[in-house]
Structure 1
């Protein structure tokens, strides 16, 4: 399970929490413009936009969990089990496997409008990366540096592309149902509540924060969707990059999963393996991990983006303690 957001205080920040019970040895991976992207059913992309994100380097092929390109378009794949459907190869369509979807879009599109034009021709084909690496059942959040975002879901009745007015995505149910569910929380507020119960009953504001008392706090995807949307829209903004990045990670960490709270099997618990975000305006990538809450930075602009070889950085997972005495 996962949570993804676009946050737009001044510049625009896009990224996600990756919540799973196992880790895959993922890295920060920069794919430069001349890396030769090969696709199973489509022509190769020998030249494309450079991109940075978190990926599994599978024998020299970047299997991106999430990424953003140099033009400020970001994309993340989130778990969508029971609903996600991949299709047979279709004539006259751009047949792209789910694991190829992120580089196919980010390699060629600079904006949401350009992505929508490409999406109109795409068929997400039911193709596995290998016999041992079966395609994950996903849906996707895509955002550009205007703060505009869309959701792509491939259901049994076909592909749906939804405009996303809240800039958030978690997992099941389908996105329109998640959006509709926000109606149940219209009374949640950062302010102290007014007494609408009765003017004949005196209410005691016995605690601060009572306006958010009905905000859901579960690990489930529906609760996280409501909570991250509320926290995002009520977050402070600043002109400072450091302050905005710090706030961005507070928003994501407000829905992170602690080990021991979401049991998915015998002695197996889902947890937030990493949180990441990229400044879509500047191409600066940030991340934290479950055991290292220091915000780590990789600036794609400092690399040779005209090269043809993947650039990788191991994620920093060792906790750091700052001893003051």
Structure 2
């Protein structure tokens, strides 16, 4: 499955893991300001904000998994199977297909405030990109340096949650994930103290016993708790190198290793990629399961006034540095 998070030092960062049993050949795709965005049920958007993100590129169209625009607004879609429910197309409504939700928001909104206002006007519909790609069951995290929200399209309608922890995982719904943190309010990075009983002489028997009780399994509820705790207690300097490095360590707390999460006979989820973007600088960083080195793509190194998509294949071959 997947986990996403935000992170603030001097700059604002955001990113996610993509956990699945196989890759769709993801690419880092930069959409310039004049790329013609033709919405399935609406008008054509010629001039818009540029954006960069990870996508499955088909027919020169980026099916974004996550992206950030040139104004610093970021967005990621995570699996929400069993809960996601999209609407039918309605006459006279602003109908937005699920697959175009990320570019629809990021092309028009410069801030989280604008995104919240715009999302409330739409009818999110289940129109697929084509007959081979059904609408994915997703919910979304949207954030900039001012705050964060979670958007879920469920049977009751479109719900927008304030997200004070800046974290998203998968099922169950966000309100239940957030409530579950109450069960972990006693977690601490400090050495544990004996609250069990005054009648027992219980002691910390080792150094490094902070976060005792933090869940370690791969379920989405446990991953939500683990990343929330790691993010909100993690420490780093505020320069770019240390901030990015710390962000990858935060999401590294939930990465999946092949063989530990079986989804079918002989099929295992792995963390296909982990992303981190600097929202102010428009730099998209990533690692993959096979390539631990952090790779960067800067959207401002291409012509953002162009009309054509620029995409880079995700590098997935490990390079070993031989020190002697």
User: Structure 1-normalised TM-score?
Assistant: 0.98
Q: Which residue is equivalent to 2:210? A: 211
Cα distance between partner residues in 1 of 2:208 and 2:154: 39
Cα distance between partner residues in 2 of 1:260 and 1:161: 36
Q: Which residue is equivalent to 1:309? A: 308
Please say if residues 7 and 248 of structure 1, whose CA atoms lie closer than 8 Å, have aligned partners that are also in contact.
yes
Cα distance between partner residues in 2 of 1:259 and 1:44: 43
What whole-Å deviation, never above 9, does each CA across 1:193-213 have from its counterpart, x for those lacking one?
Answer: 121122332112112333322
SS at 1:53 equivalent: strand
Q: After alignment, is 1-10 or 205-214 more displaced? A: 205-214
Give the C-alpha shift of residue 142 in structure 1: 0.2
Within 5 A, what are the aligned runs for 1:223-262? 223-262=222-261
Give the C-alpha shift of residue 251 in structure 1: 0.5
Please say if residues 192 and 212 of structure 2, whose CA atoms lie closer than 8 Å, have aligned partners that are also in contact.
no
Give the C-alpha shift of residue 126 in structure 1: 1.3
SS at 1:135 equivalent: coil
Cα distance between partner residues in 2 of 1:107 and 1:278: 17
1:126 and 2:126 correspond: yes
Q: Which residue is equivalent to 2:75? A: 75
Q: Which residue is equivalent to 2:179? A: 180
Give the C-alpha shift of residue 218 in structure 1: 0.7
Give the C-alpha shift of residue 94 in structure 1: 1.2
1:149 and 2:143 correspond: no
Give the C-alpha shift of residue 281 in structure 1: 1.3
Show structure 2 runs of 5+ residues with no match.
Answer: none
Q: Which residue is equivalent to 1:167? A: 166
Point out 4+ residue stretches in structure 1 off by more than 3 angstroms.
Answer: none
What whole-Å deviation, never above 9, does each CA across 1:271-315 have from its counterpart, x for those lacking one?
Answer: 100000110111111000110010101111111000000011111
Cα distance between partner residues in 2 of 1:200 and 1:218: 32
Cα distance between partner residues in 1 of 2:309 and 2:17: 23
What whole-Å deviation, never above 9, does each CA across 1:51-74 have from its counterpart, x for those lacking one?
Answer: 000001101111000000000000
Cα distance between partner residues in 2 of 1:268 and 1:127: 29
Cα distance between partner residues in 2 of 1:291 and 1:11: 28
1:109 and 2:136 correspond: no
Please say if residues 262 and 269 of structure 1, whose CA atoms lie closer than 8 Å, have aligned partners that are also in contact.
yes
1:297 and 2:270 correspond: no
What whole-Å deviation, never above 9, does each CA across 1:154-189 have from its counterpart, x for those lacking one?
Answer: 010101000000000000000000000000011111
User: Structure 2-normalised TM-score?
Assistant: 0.98
Cα distance between partner residues in 1 of 2:174 and 2:43: 32
Give the C-alpha shift of residue 237 in structure 1: 2.6
Cα distance between partner residues in 2 of 1:13 and 1:303: 21
Give the C-alpha shift of residue 121 in structure 1: 0.7
Cα distance between partner residues in 2 of 1:250 and 1:322: 21
Cα distance between partner residues in 1 of 2:196 and 2:64: 50
Give the C-alpha shift of residue 91 in structure 1: 2.9
Please say if residues 193 and 203 of structure 2, whose CA atoms lie closer than 8 Å, have aligned partners that are also in contact.
no
Please say if residues 256 and 272 of structure 1, whose CA atoms lie closer than 8 Å, have aligned partners that are also in contact.
yes
Cα distance between partner residues in 2 of 1:11 and 1:305: 22
SS at 2:40 equivalent: coil
Show structure 1 runs of 5+ residues with no match.
Answer: none
